[in-house]
A and B are shown apart, each in its own frame.
Chain A
C-alpha cells in the first residue's frame, strides 16, 4: 500500500507540476466560485451535514416561487451551484435559475442521468462553468456544466458534453469505462476544494481526482484494511474538512460463513494514507438491516464523526460518536426505531429521523435532536407521516436551515423548529389522479435550501418554495 501511495504521490507531483505550469502561470482560479448559497453534493457539504447556516426561511408557511411539472417523477437529489439548480428526473435534466425557475429541460433518451447516484458539482481551473459530476454505478462522468449550454435533448450517455470518465482504476476522456456493480447511495462523490473524493465499489477503492481532467491524485485500496479472508464492500464516505480525514464506512464479509464485520476507516484526504480503522462485532449478514447502512448513516462536522448502525445484542438502532482524527469512540445512543431514514447536524445538535411502529400507523416519523457533546436528548417529536418509500436510499433525509428542520414525507414537506421540535408548517399540494380524484404530492428528494429558496422534487413537480 505504501508503494502505491508513493507512486501515486510521485504522479501527483508530476501532474501538479503540469497543472502549475499551465494553470498557475495563467493565474487561474477555480470557477464558478463557491458560495454559501451552494448545495453542491449529496448532503450539501463534504461532511454531508445538510446544514445551511445562512438561509432565510419563513416560520409561518411557504409560497410557491416557481414550479416545473413533469409527466414522470423519478427525481434525483438536486444540486445548486452558481445560483443554478441541476435536477435529474426520469426523462430529463432541469438546469434552472434557482430564484426564478427559468431555464432548460434537457430531455434524455439514453442512459444519461438514469440509474445514477446523486450528482455533484465541482469548480474547475480550466473551465469557467465547472463540471457536473454524474456517478453511474461504478463509473463517474464529468460533464460541461454551463447553464446556458445545455441542448434541448441529450442522447446516449451525453458523450458530447463529457470531459472525462473515471472508475477508480483509470481515467479516460473519450472511452467510457465498462459499468459494473451498483454503487451505494452514500458513495456519491464529494467535492473538497476542487478535488473529487469518490468511492468505487467494483475496485473497492477510495480515490481523489482532479475536477478539470479527472486525473488521479491518490487512490486507497480498501481491501487492504479487511481482515484475511474477508471482502470489503464500501457503503459510504464523508470528509471531515477540520481534520482532513476521509471517513469510509465498509461492510467486510467472509463468504463461507456469511458473516459481516462493519468497519470504519479514516484516510488522509491530503495524500490518501491510512490514519485509523475501527471494527465492531461480527454480525450475521442475514441480521443486518439493509435499510441502515446504504442510506444516510454517516456524517461529520468539526472533527467529529457520527455513524448509525444496529446494536448487535439489543437489535436497536445505535448512534455513535467518533473522533475524526483518531477514530476513538465517544458516546453512543440507542434509539428504538424500526427504520433509519436520515441524519443532519448543526453547530450544537444532531438530528435523527427514523420510523417507529404504532398500532394504528405502522410506519411513522420519529424525530429526535441530540446534544452533540453528550448525546443526550434535547427534544423528540412524532409526525403522522412517513417517507414515500423508506426503503429507497433517498427516503427523506432531513435538512437543517435557518431555524428550521425540514423533513420530506408522503404529505409533502414538514418544517419543525430546530430548537424545540415544534411543527411550524407543512407544505402540501394536491395532484389530480387518473380516476378523477387527487392525492398529496409526496416529497421525493431532500429539501435543498439556497438562500431563501427551498428546492424539492415531489410527485410530478419540482418546486421552488419561498
Chain B
C-alpha cells in the first residue's frame, strides 16, 4: 500500500483502490469519454507529444519497408472492419505486422539492430505517453472542465490534498515507464521466437477457435489487467510490478469499462491507419496513416488512461 507521501521520488502519488465495490457515483465509461473530450478541447496542445511521436513512428515505418527485415504494413481495413486489437501503450508503428519467422535465425548484429530499433521506439512512446498522461492528470485535477459530477467533486482542484501532479514527470517515473514499455516489447519479441522455434500453431484439424479463445481468455484479461499500469507509474509513482497490481485491481473492480476502453483504444489506433489507405503511394499512405494513428489515437489513449486512473483512484 502506498500513501500520497511514500512515493519513491518524493512527488505526490495516487492511492490504492479500496476493496469495496464501485458505487453508483463513480465515473463510468461515458464519463471518462466526456472527460477525455473535455480535456482535449481545453488543451489541444496535448496532441503535440504524440504528433512528434507520430513523426518518429512514420519515419520508422517507412524505414522498415526499405530495410531488409521482413515486415508487413497493413492499413485498415485490410484485416477486416471488425479487427480487434489491444494496445497496452500506444503503438508507434500501428501498421506493422510481423511473423515469428522474423526473429528465427537472425544474425546477432541484426538482432541487436532490431532490439535497438525497438528500444528507440519504446523511448519515444515513453516520453510522449508520460508527458500526456502527466499533463492530462494535472488538468483533470486542477480544473473543473470535467462534466462528471462525481469526478469534479472528487478530483476537483484541491492542490492542498497533494493530488495534483507536477507537469513534468520525474526521471525515476520516466525510467520505470520506459522499463515497463521495454519489458512489453521484449516479451512480445520473445513470444515470437518461442512460437517460431517450437512450431506453436494451430494443430491438425484446427478450426481456428483455439486462437480466438486464447485471445479472448488470455490476451484480453492480461491486457485489461495492465491497462492502467502506465498511469499508476507516472501519476501514482509506483514501480512497474506494484503498478501492475494496482491496475489489475481496477480492472477487477471495473472489468467491463476497462475491457471496453482497451478495445476502443486499440480499435481507434487501427482504424486511423486507414485514413490514407489507397493513396497514390504506399509509402506516403504508410507515413500519413501512421502519423494520424499515433498523433490522434495515442493522445486519446493517454488521456483516457490518465482520466480513468485519476477518477478511479479518487473514487477509492
Residues of chain A at the chain B interface (Cβ within 8 Å): 14-15, 17-19, 21-23, 26, 28, 31, 106, 109-110, 125-129, 142-146, 149, 151-156, 158-164, 172-175, 210, 212-215
Contact = CB atoms under 8 A, between A and B. Distances in A.
A153 B109 CA distance: 30
Contacts of A129: 104-105
Interface string B63-74: 101111111101
Given A127-B105, A159-B99, A173-B99, A109 B204 contact: yes
Interface of B: 63, 65-72, 74, 78, 97-102, 104-107, 109-110, 113, 195-204, 206
A210 B99 CA distance: 17
Please report whether the interface of chain B is mostly helix, strand, loop or mixed according to DSSP.
loop
A151 B100 CA distance: 14
A9 to B, nearest CB: 15
Contacts of B198: 151
Given A17-B66, A125-B68, A163-B101, 16 more contacts: A15-B65, A15-B66, A18-B65, A18-B68, A22-B68, A106-B199, A126-B69, A127-B110, A144-B101, A156-B202, A159-B100, A160-B99, A160-B201, A162-B101, A174-B72, A212-B68
B201 A213 contact: no
A212 B203 CA distance: 28
A6 to B, nearest CB: 15
Given A128-B107, A129-B105, A172 B72 contact: yes
Contact of B98 (A21, A109, A174): A174
B101 A143 contact: yes
Contact of B104 (A21, A26, A110, A149): A149
28 contacts: A15-B66, A18-B67, A22-B113, A23-B110, A28-B107, A28-B109, A106-B199, A126-B68, A126-B107, A127-B104, A127-B107, A127-B110, A146-B105, A151-B197, A152-B199, A156-B201, A158-B199, A160-B195, A161-B104, A161-B196, A162-B99, A164-B101, A173-B72, A173-B97, A173-B101, A175-B78, A212-B68, A213-B69
Nearest to B97: A174
Which 3 A-B pairs rank lowest in CB-CB distance, beginning with the nearest? A18-B66, A151-B199, A163-B101
Nearest to B113: A22
A144 B195 CA distance: 13
A19 B101 contact: no
Contact of A154 (B66, B109, B195, B199): B199
Contacts of B200: 160
Nearest to A210: B68
Given A173-B72, A173-B98, A22 B67 contact: yes
A62 B202 CA distance: 43
Contact of A161 (B72, B100, B204): B100
Contacts of B202: 155-156
Contacts of A149: 104-105, 197
A212 B101 CA distance: 11
A173 B70 contact: yes
B74 A174 contact: yes
Contacts of B67: 18-19, 21-22, 213
A287 to B, nearest CB: 45
A160 B101 contact: yes
Contact of A144 (B66, B98, B104): B104
B110 A26 contact: yes
Contacts of A28: 107, 109-110
Contacts of A160: 99-101, 195-196, 199-201
Most buried by A among B100, B110, B203: B110
A186 to B, nearest CB: 27
A212 B71 CA distance: 11
Contacts of A213: 67-71
Given A26-B110, A28-B107, A110-B204, A18 B63 contact: yes
A21 B68 CA distance: 10
B199 A155 contact: yes
A126 B71 CA distance: 13
A144 B105 contact: yes
A123 to B, nearest CB: 12
Most buried by B among A109, A125, A127, A214: A127
Contact of A26 (B98, B102, B113): B113
Contact of B110 (A22, A152, A154): A22
A153 B74 CA distance: 30
A153 B199 CA distance: 7
Contacts of A161: 100-101, 104, 196, 199
A222 B201 CA distance: 38
A159 B107 contact: no
Nearest to A26: B109
B206 A22 contact: no
A163 B230 CA distance: 33
B99 A163 contact: yes
Nearest to A24: B68
Nearest to A157: B201
A125 B100 CA distance: 18
B79 to A, nearest CB: 8
A144 B105 CA distance: 7
A412 B88 CA distance: 61
A179 B107 CA distance: 32
A423 B100 CA distance: 50
B50 to A, nearest CB: 26
A276 B107 CA distance: 41
Most buried by B among A19, A23, A125: A23
Given A155-B201, A160-B101, A173-B98, A144 B68 contact: no
B72 A126 contact: no
A316 B104 CA distance: 51
Contacts of A158: 199, 201
Nearest to B101: A163
